[in-house]
Structure 1
Amino acid sequence: MPVSPALAEDLAAAVADLYEATEGVLIERVRQALAAGIDSPAWVQMKLAAVGNLQAAIEAVIAALQADAAGAIHQAVAEAYDRGQQAAVAELGALPPGRVLAVAEAVPTAPVVDRLARAAVADTGAVHQRILRTTLDAYRDVITRAAAAPALGAQTRRQAAQSALDAFASRGVTGFIDRSGRAWDMRSYTEMAMRSVLGRAAIEAHTDRLGAAGVDLVIVSQAPEECPVCRPWERKILARTGAPGAREVRVEHAVEDGRTVTVRVAGSLPQARAAGLMHPNCRHSVSAYLPGVSRVPAAQPSRGTYEDSQRQRYLERQIRKWKRLEAAALDDARRTAARARVRAYQGRVRELVAETGLPRKSHREQIDLPGRASNPHAAR
Structure 2
Amino acid sequence: MILVQCAACAAPLGLSSGKKCGRCSTRYCGPACQEQHWKEGGHDKLCKKIKRAGGAEQYNANQKYTAAVTIAAEACADDTKGQTCYICTQALHWKTKEGLVRMCACRGTAGFAHVSCLAEQAKISVAEALENNLDGERWSSRWGRWDTCSLCEQEYHGVVRCALGWACWKTYVGRAENDWPRLGAMSALGNGLSVAKQYADALAVREAELAMKRRLGADEDSILVVQSNLASTYQFLGRREEALSLRRVVYSGRVNLVGEDHRGTLGAAVNYASTLFALDHYAEARALLRKTVPAAQRVLGENHMITLKMRKVYAQSLCGDPAATLDDLGEALTTLEETGRTARRVLGGSHPFVVDTERFLRGLLEALDAREASETGVDVNSVREAMEAMTPGDA
TM range (shorter): under 0.3
TM-score by length of 1: 0.24
Name the structure where helix makes up a greater proportion of residues: 2
**Relative contact order: is structure 1 or structure 2 higher (C-alpha 8 Å, sep ≥ 6)?**
1
More strand by share: 1
Larger Rg: 1
TM-score, normalised on structure 2? 0.24
